[in-house]
Amino acid sequence: MGKKTKIGIAAVAVGAAAWAGSKALVTAQPRPKKNALEYDRPMILAHRGGSALAPENSMAAFKKAASYGIDGFEIDIRLTSDEELIVFHDEFVDRTTDGAGKVADLTLEKLRTLDLGYHFEDLEGNNSYRGGDEKIITLRELLDEFPDMYINIDMKDSPETYEGSLLPSKLWRLIESAGVEERVGVTSFFDEQIDRFNLYAQNRVAIGAGENEVRKAFAAFNSQFGHLYKPRADMFQIPIRSNGFNLVSPRFIAFLENLNVPVHYWTIDDPEIIRSLIDAGAKGIITDRPDVAVKALKETE
């Protein structure tokens, strides 16, 4: 037996011993369960109110989605120049032919002058909401309008911006004052924003996984040391694929489920894919077509 072979065998033995030792000493640490995420069937969440059926983030969209019997909404929020939390996705607004500029530079009053239905076309290609008085709404208005809905809130402002630095504390104060800790979830693509929010919330609100947390979990799942992974999120909201990796796997979903971390997939409108995700163990479907998703879910029951 050559020297290199002996070294290779020794390295394998050391690795196996390390794995066995860690397995013996470390057990998986599930997240404490959150009431907001306790449900007996997969959730259907209307993405921005179901943006294929009515202007995204408009009250018309949320009301229309609710009429299909969905479980809640998946929304984005941003901070205005007068520090109001509004339900809006884009950094810049363009809801008239003249445009309006950056959300963070505009007051709520100014933003209310915009026509949310200006560019919207329904599935038949009709601009039926233009001039229909659909205005930007605040997060508080949405919470008050739908007191029985679960609402997942995505903080869009970057933590490196002034508005982003204020967003987590502003959001926590609103959630606390509204008393909705047990019917909302809070997430962001930025792990730092989630951490900042949880400094205030202290695990009293269900939090999602940022991009780094998702990568960490997926790497742990694909390694021999998945038992060492300790989740820092109460839920995962992920696409089907990310950076070339397929994130749909019954084993990956079960890996997280065993840690009390349900997986929600976005943004899914195809009924066949919705059914396949539910069969794989997905606990939530985020969709622009709540009408299609609700029907597809019923077909799996």
> Cα(67)–Cα(78) distance, rounded to whole angstroms?
26
The answer to whether position 167 is within a domain reads yes
The answer to whether position 276 is within a domain reads yes
> Cα(157)–Cα(167) distance, rounded to whole angstroms?
7
The answer to whether position 253 is within a domain reads yes
Strand partners, 154: 76, 187
The answer to whether position 14 is within a domain reads no
Q: Are 163 and 157 in contact (CB under 8 A)?
A: yes
Computed over every residue of the chain, the mean pLDDT equals 90
Handedness of CA 226, 230, 234, 240 (dihedral sign): negative
pLDDT, tens digit, for every residue of 181-227?
A: 999 999 999 999 999 999 999 999 999 999 999 999 999 999 988 88
Predicted confidence band of residue 9 (pLDDT cuts 50, 70, 90): very low
- Which is more confidently placed, 186 or 127? 186
CATH of the domain at 42: 3.20.20.190
Which amino acid is present at 297? L
- Which is more confidently placed, 61 or 301? 61
What does the pLDDT read at residue 97? Answer: 62
What does the pLDDT read at residue 125? Answer: 84
pLDDT, tens digit, for every residue of 45-60?
A: 999 999 999 999 999 9
pLDDT, tens digit, for every residue of 59-109?
A: 999 999 999 999 999 999 999 999 999 999 999 998 776 667 899 999 999
> Cα(59)–Cα(144) distance, rounded to whole angstroms?
12
Mean local confidence (pLDDT), 172-186 = 98
What does the pLDDT read at residue 21? Answer: 44
The answer to whether position 76 is within a domain reads yes
> Cα(154)–Cα(282) distance, rounded to whole angstroms?
20
The answer to whether position 108 is within a domain reads no
Q: Do strands 85-87 and 72-79 pair parallel, antiparallel, or not at all (unpaired)?
A: antiparallel
The answer to whether position 26 is within a domain reads no
Place of tokens 């911006």: 161
The residues that are catalytic are 47, 89
Predicted confidence band of residue 124 (pLDDT cuts 50, 70, 90): confident
On the question of pLDDT at 14 being above 70, the answer is no
> Cα(21)–Cα(15) distance, rounded to whole angstroms?
10
Number of domains in the chain: 1
Q: Taking Cα atoms as reference points, which of 153, 130, 131 lies closest to residue 142?
A: 153
Scanning 223-289, the segments in alpha helix (DSSP H) are 250-257, 271-280
The answer to whether position 235 is within a domain reads yes
Predicted confidence band of residue 127 (pLDDT cuts 50, 70, 90): confident
Q: How would you classify residue 260: left for phi > 0, otherwise alpha for psi between -120 and 50, otherwise beta?
A: left
State how far the alpha carbon of 204 is from the alpha carbons of 76, 176, 200, 283, 293, in Å.
20, 10, 9, 21, 30
pLDDT, tens digit, for every residue of 243-294?
A: 888 999 999 999 999 999 999 999 999 999 999 999 999 999 999 999 999 9
Mean local confidence (pLDDT), 128-154 = 96
> Cα(112)–Cα(188) distance, rounded to whole angstroms?
25
What does the pLDDT read at residue 27? Answer: 65
What does the pLDDT read at residue 11? Answer: 41
Mean local confidence (pLDDT), 11-22 = 42
Extract the tokens encoding 255. Answer: 């890996």
Residue 126 CB neighbours (<10 A): 10
On the question of pLDDT at 18 being above 90, the answer is no
**168: domain range?**
32-90+138-300
CA 114-120-121 angle, to 5 degrees, is 160
Predicted confidence band of residue 123 (pLDDT cuts 50, 70, 90): confident
